[in-house]
Amino acid sequence: MLDLSGLMIPAHKVDDGIGTIWLNNVNCSGSESELLNCTFNTDASNCRHYGDVGIHCFLNCSTKDEGGLRITEGLAENQGRLEVYYKGEWGTVCDNQFANVDAKVACKQLGYCSGLMIPAHKVEDGLGTIWLNNVNCSGSESELLNCTFNTDASNCRHYGDVGIHCFLNCSQDGEGGLRISEGFAGNQGRLDIYHKGEWGTLCDDKFENVDAEVACRQLGYCSGLKLPSDKVNDGIGTIWLNNVNCSGSESNLLYCTYNYDTSRCRHYHDVGIHCFLNCSTENEGDLRITEGFAGKQGRLEIYYKGEWGTLCDNQFENGDAEVACRQLGYCSGLQLPSNKVNDGMGTIWFNNVNCVGSESNLLNCTYNQDISPCRHYHDVGIHCFLNCSIEAEGDLRIIKGYAENQGRLEIKYKGEWGTVCDNQFENDDAKVACRQLGYCSGLMLPADKVDDGVGTIWFNHLNCSGAEGNLLNCTYNHDISPCRHYHDVGVHCFLNCSTENEGNLRITDGVTENQGRLETYYKGEWGTVCDNQFQNVDAEVACRQLGYCSGQMIPAIRVNDGQGTIWLNDVNCSGSERKLLNCTYTTDTSNCRHSEDVGIHCFLICSTEDEGNIL
């Protein structure tokens, strides 16, 4: 049979009723056996159903097991929501005024050595009755119910349920031990601390490099740096310490000042450290170039604190690359944009490197170690020059073309051959290059008409007036960041600029000598004509120039494809011209292919005598 003792439940904690509100101003002495034996009145005119009262009847008024505690729904059995057994049922405790001293009493009651309060927002909401509110312990109590409290939980909700974290071990054995976990290497990663019998993490609030130095020395390293929390994996379990503040002379992190208020911390605030393998200055600042197209160009790496790492490209300029290259034994060099080198791994050592240019070692330049905005896709690269002599500087060559006078343009610079980007490269630039190579003139070949080069792209935005005798006399820049080798420019240099025989025609690859592919002699070489806008009237002019009386166009699909240069495009004759070159045309054949080479069929005789005779 249920005990008839209980508590009132405020109206706002029960659902509104319906129908008649029978009683108002009920007043019992407590000895009555029925509610109607108490005083009351039936004037409910000032009442509404949101004022309907509720009651909570106790399942058991025995004091057996009264005040028993348990921890539920936590990360581990020693931490989670605190629940108390009271009046025959389990319920929760409100966090109003609940402090660490109250958690210590609860944990000692549960058989642990001590403990801390877990704020309500860090535990799961409970269900059922909120039994205790305003708990206040002195710390000497053996049970939570021996502390002062009240059972008026009218201002509490389950999102205010308190939690506790009980310590597995309060002995000093192993206390304050450190470890580095889940890092790229054993000497860098998330910092964990052993405290109160379990491993946990530290919050990065106010954690600085001096604190990392103390932790690293405690771990047996010579020194170290703090790793930003976004560069380490999130931990699990307890966040033990916050606001760590070391002077730098401590031998153990627990000798520094700190506090246990981690209420504002989450595991994405977990601190990390990078401990130095070696603090000797031997070989400190050595450089190397790795993973490049050649040994003299690629990602720049520096040896620091006993390990190789990379540099961030923020503010890294050509002047800084020159210092690095001279340190490596080269005469000079240029910066390679980070998107042109392979991403490194491990430590990014320096950021915002700034050299004046006279330094003999990169470490003599100014820099900082705040690499928080850097990732390995920001790793800088350098291209060091094999030779800074001006001997043969600016020499040109044409390679991998249909003929020796046309193909990809390459230039010798700083001791090595490289290519030129086609951004703003025009025919005037090609003329200068071709004249430098000993030809009379030339045209630009678009990048899509030459094979991609390899190695260095030396120049971009070349701008020649046309009068220069050497391509290096034109204006240009070394910013090749938007260039790739599929932008490598080509030139077509003219074998002969004499007008002798210029515009001569011939018919080739036909069934007979009077019909086939049309070719023209231009700039000292034979080439083809594009069929764009080429009509019968144009064929008539060409045939008359060849000594025939007239002719017709043969569509490109009916003639064999030619090779070499396509000289003319958009030919347009009136019909009265004596030579095809007297017609209008363009030499822009960028939209033409040899599958569009035009043909002509020239008539052997145009007399009408015997026309139409049948044999």
pLDDT-based confidence at residue 401 (cuts at 50, 70, 90): confident
CB 297 within 8 A of CB 336: yes
**Distance between CA atoms of 527 and 597, rounded to whole angstroms?**
10
Core vs surface per residue 537-573: b (16+ CB within 10 A) or e: bbbbbbbbbbebeebbbbebeebeebeebbbbbbbeb
* pLDDT computed for residue 371 by the predictor: 87
pLDDT-based confidence at residue 4 (cuts at 50, 70, 90): very low
Residue with tokens 């097991």, as numbered in its chain: 65
Contacts for 57 with CB less than 8 Å, ≥ 6 apart: 2, 3, 4, 5, 6
**How long a stretch of residues is the chain?**
615
SS3 530: strand
Q: What are the tokens at 52?
A: 């309907």
Q: What are the tokens at 55?
A: 């009651």
Q: Is 353's pLDDT higher than 50?
A: yes
Q: Is 58's pLDDT higher than 80?
A: no
* pLDDT computed for residue 2 by the predictor: 33
Q: What are the tokens at 514?
A: 């009077």
* pLDDT computed for residue 5 by the predictor: 64
Q: Domain extents for the chain?
A: 6-57, 69-166, 178-275, 287-384, 396-493, 505-603
pLDDT over 70, % of the chain = 96
CATH number attached to the domain at 396-493: 3.10.250.10
Contacts for 123 with CB less than 8 Å, ≥ 6 apart: 73, 74, 80, 81, 161, 162, 163
Q: Is 293's pLDDT higher than 90?
A: no
Q: How many CB atoms lie within 10 A of CB 172?
A: 8
Chain-centre distance for alpha carbon 490? 35
* pLDDT computed for residue 230 by the predictor: 86
Q: How many CB atoms lie within 10 A of CB 485?
A: 15
Q: Is 615's pLDDT higher than 60?
A: no
* pLDDT computed for residue 415 by the predictor: 87
For domain 178-275, the CATH architecture is Roll (3.10)
Q: Is 212's pLDDT higher than 70?
A: yes
* pLDDT computed for residue 608 by the predictor: 65
Q: Mean pLDDT lowest for which of 84-88, 231-235, 303-307, 445-449?
A: 445-449
Q: Is 614's pLDDT higher than 80?
A: no
One CATH from 3.10.250.10, 3.10.129.10, 3.40.1160.10, 3.40.50.2020 for 505-603: 3.10.250.10
Instruction: Please determine whether the domains at 287-384 and 396-493 fall in the same fold group of CATH.
Output: yes
Q: Mean pLDDT lowest for which of 52-61, 69-78, 184-193, 293-302?
A: 52-61
Q: What are the tokens at 491?
A: 């030139």
Q: How many CB atoms lie within 10 A of CB 181?
A: 16
What are the residues facing 372 on neighbouring strands?
Answer: none
Q: Is 441's pLDDT higher than 60?
A: yes
Summarize pLDDT for 477-536 with one digit per residue, the tens: 888 888 999 999 999 999 988 888 999 999 999 889 999 999 999 999 999 999 999 999
One CATH from 3.40.50.880, 3.40.1080.10, 3.10.250.10, 3.30.390.50 for 69-166: 3.10.250.10
CB 403 within 8 A of CB 442: no
Phi, then psi, of 516 in degrees rounded to 5: 160, -160
For domain 287-384, the CATH architecture is Roll (3.10)
pLDDT higher at 77 or 43? 77
Residue with tokens 């989670």, as numbered in its chain: 80
Q: Pairing between strand 130-136 and 89-93?
A: parallel
CB 89 within 8 A of CB 127: no
Q: How many Cα atoms sit within 13 Å of 163 on the Cβ side?
A: 22
In order, the DSSP letters of 109-158 are: HTT-S-EEEE-GGGS----S-EEEEEEE--S--SSGGGSEEE---TT--G
Strand ranges, E, within 404-456 = 406-413, 416-420, 442-445
Q: Is 612's pLDDT higher than 70?
A: no
